[in-house]
Amino acid sequence: MFLLLEEAPDTFGYMILGYAFFSVVMIAYVASMYVRNRNLKRDLETLESIQAEEAKPTKRQ
Amino acid sequence: MQPRPIGLKILDVVTIIVLAISAYLALFFAPTEKVMGEVQRVFYFHIGTAWVGLLGFVIAAIAGIAYLVSKNMLWDRFEVAAVEVSTVFFFITIVLGSIWARPAWNTWWTWDPRLTTAAITELIYIAYFMLRQGIEEPEKRARFGAVYTLLGGISAPITFMVIRLFRTIHPVVIGSANGTQEKMSMSGDMKIAFFFALFAFTVIFVDMIWHRLRLSALEEKVESLKLNASM
């Protein structure tokens, strides 16, 4: 005797898991790019200010 | 750093729109597959991320060749951007495939040729970043990266072709299946969601590469200033 599949199996939870995973990874990656960009800009400002300080002529006593 | 160009701003907006449309098509527009049920809807993003993942690895190999020929650091930046974005997308592909496999094959993972080659490809590119970080001299690092991506790039066509060359349980979506394989057939609405997902992920990929290239340019500038400061 064969059981005929009348309805699709309930795999809704797996679909939600898949799209939730996709969303989490994409948000994490975009956030990582933002954080790296912010940190690099901060480093650049610091390095440029150090360079500017070094370029200034030293005052005579 | 230069402010975000207008073209990139437009592309950012387009990216959000195409991603939203693609999610709508995959989740609501495409009909529910009768055998697998709702989980089949992850297939659209699984294929979309796989397409840009493998495309990026091939692009990185081409950028590697371009660097070796020209010695222009722009190609190195392009290669890093392509590998990083593709590694993220390909990781999503593998996990989405695993989530689909659980109800379809009754297991999260099996050492099927497609799954094995995909896992090896992902590991090759994770190792790329680990090894690259160990080289301090920029030119030596770029040369290493170019040769590595050139060799690693071979894994992309192998991963794509493996289901056509070996006996596997992974369904064939593009092209014809051999006698032992399952060919995934799609209705008209499914095809719309499928092809739009391919288009949407191509747009997302270009947008992310552009952002990553700008980040690389900033990294290079900071690195050169640090080198000057230490001299």
Mean pLDDT of the residues in chain B: 90
Residue A55: the pLDDT is 79
- Place B179 in a pLDDT band, splitting at 50, 70 and 90: low
CB of B92 within 8 A of CB of A29?
no
Contact B42 A14 (CB under 8 A): yes
Q: Would you give the end-to-end CA distance of chain B in angstroms?
A: 24
CB of A40 within 8 A of CB of B215?
yes
Task: Please say if the pLDDT value at position A50 is more than 80.
Answer: yes
- Place B176 in a pLDDT band, splitting at 50, 70 and 90: low
The predicted model gives A6-18 an average pLDDT of: 86
Most confident stretch, A35-39, B105-109, B156-160: A35-39
A39 CA to chain B: closest CA distance, Å?
Answer: 10
| Whole-structure pTM value | 0.89
What are the backbone dihedrals phi and psi of residue B173, each rounded to the nearest 5 degrees, phi first?
-105, -45
Of B49, B103, B228, the CB nearest to A9: B103
| Chain A (6-45) residues lying within 8 Å, Cβ to Cβ, of chain B | 8-12, 14-15, 17-19, 21-22, 25-26, 29, 33, 36-37, 40-41, 43-44
Between CA B164 and CA A25 the distance in angstroms is 30
Between CA B89 and CA B212 the distance in angstroms is 14
The token pair at B92 is 């999503």
The predicted model gives A13-35 an average pLDDT of: 96
Residue A1: the pLDDT is 40
Contact A18 B228 (CB under 8 A): no
Helix, strand, coil percentages for chain A (3-state, nearest 5): 70, 0, 30
Instruction: Provide, rounded to the nearest whole percent, the portion of chain B with pLDDT above 70.
Output: 94
- Place A2 in a pLDDT band, splitting at 50, 70 and 90: very low
Of B91, B103, B229, the CB nearest to A14: B103
Residue B35: the pLDDT is 83
* Cα Dmax for chain B: 68
CB of B64 within 8 A of CB of B146?
yes
Between B71-85, B155-169, B186-200, the lowest mean confidence (pLDDT) is in B155-169
Which of residues A33 and B172 earns the better pLDDT score? A33
- Place B181 in a pLDDT band, splitting at 50, 70 and 90: low
State CA B211 to chain mean position distance. Answer: 16
Between CA B167 and CA B180 the distance in angstroms is 7
Contact A25 B225 (CB under 8 A): no
ipTM: 0.89
Domain ranges, ordered by start, for chain B: 11-28+39-171+197-226
Q: Between the CA of residue B118 and those of B80, B109, B193, what are the distances in Å? A: 20, 12, 24
| Chain B (95-124) residues lying within 8 Å, Cβ to Cβ, of chain A | 95-96, 99-100, 102-103
Contact A14 B41 (CB under 8 A): no
Residue A6: the pLDDT is 63
Residue A18: the pLDDT is 95
B36 CA to chain A: closest CA distance, Å?
Answer: 6
The predicted model gives A16-24 an average pLDDT of: 96
Q: Between the CA of residue B40 and those of A9, B15, B192, B213, B215, what are the distances in Å? A: 11, 24, 15, 34, 36
Between CA B182 and CA B198 the distance in angstroms is 21
The predicted model gives B51-56 an average pLDDT of: 95
The predicted model gives B45-57 an average pLDDT of: 95
Contact B36 A19 (CB under 8 A): no
Q: Which pLDDT tens digit goes with each residue over B110-151? A: 898 899 999 999 999 999 999 998 998 889 999 999 999 999
Q: Would you give the end-to-end CA distance of chain A in angstroms?
A: 104
A33 CA to chain B: closest CA distance, Å?
Answer: 8
Q: Which pLDDT tens digit goes with each residue over B92-110? A: 999 999 999 999 888 899 8
- State the number of CA atoms in the 13 A half-sphere of B48 facing the CB: 28
B61-65 long-range Cβ contacts below 8 angstroms, 24+ apart = B61/B149, B61/B150, B61/B152, B61/B153, B61/B154, B61/B156, B62/B153, B63/B146, B63/B149, B64/B145, B64/B146, B64/B147, B64/B148, B64/B149, B64/B150, B64/B153, B65/B146, B65/B150
Residues of A in contact with B221 (CB under 8 A): 44
Residue recorded with tokens 């950012």: B12
